Amino acid sequence: MTVNVIFVGALKEKFFAEAVAEYEKRLLAYCKVNNIIIKDERLSDKPSAAEISAALEKEGERILAALPARSYKIALCVEGKQLKSEDFAALFDNVATNGYGEISFIIGGSFGLSEKVKAACDKRLSVSLMTFPHRMMRVILLEQVYRAYNILGGGKYHK
């Protein structure tokens, strides 16, 4: 299976980049990981609601253009469903069983995702009721993807 991680904005912090690289290395045993970086829109220091909405729409257009058409698409968003790690692993199994060769996760910028992007997805997923920096979400997501494959493979990583 191919796992696509589509995210808004590049990683600037070295420690996040190193953590992402570590989980990508671990995932080589299970899947191929594609990172698709979407350029983020520049906003003023105190953006208005209209400015934020316009930025989300522009980023959303770029995300939709980059989404692989035949992948199972999951938007990471606060209103999404929360899953236990075992259920997240089962999701991967179900996606593969239903004939998908790719699964795509979409991580928005600091203001989230446009409604058009969310509507284009097969599922909405929330990892927590807490708020995390969107750059950290790449690390959290890849760790959970690694954990899911380890669960499915009967590994010892998940206790």
101-138 confidence digits (pLDDT tens): 999 999 999 899 999 999 999 999 999 988 888 889 99
Is 2-152 in CATH node 3.40.50.920?
A: no
Q: What is the DSSP letter of 137?
A: H
Per-position DSSP letters for 47-81, written without gaps between them:
--HHHHHHHHHHHHHHHHHHS-TTSEEEEEEEEEE
The confidence score (pLDDT) of residue 158 equals 81
Taking a C-beta distance cutoff of 8 angstroms, is the pair 117, 7 a contact?
A: no
In the chain, helix, strand, coil percent, each to 5? 45, 20, 35
Strand 72-81 to 102-107 pairing: parallel
pTM of the model: 0.94
Exposed/middle/buried for residue 72 (C-beta within 10 Å: 0-12, 13-18, 19+): buried
pLDDT, tens digit, for every residue of 143-157? 999 999 999 999 988
pLDDT at res. 23 = 97
Domain segments of the chain as ranges: 2-152
CB-based contacts of 106, cutoff 8 Å, min separation 6: 6, 7, 63, 67, 73, 74, 75, 76, 113, 117, 121
pLDDT at 27: 97
28-85 pLDDT, tens digit per residue, is 999 999 999 999 999 989 999 999 999 999 999 999 999 998 999 999 999 999 999 9
Would you state the pLDDT for residue 37? 94
State the pLDDT at residue 89: 96
- d(CA 1, CA 17) in angstroms, rounded, equals 23
Q: Give the max Cα distance, the chain.
A: 49
> What type of residue sits at position 114?
S
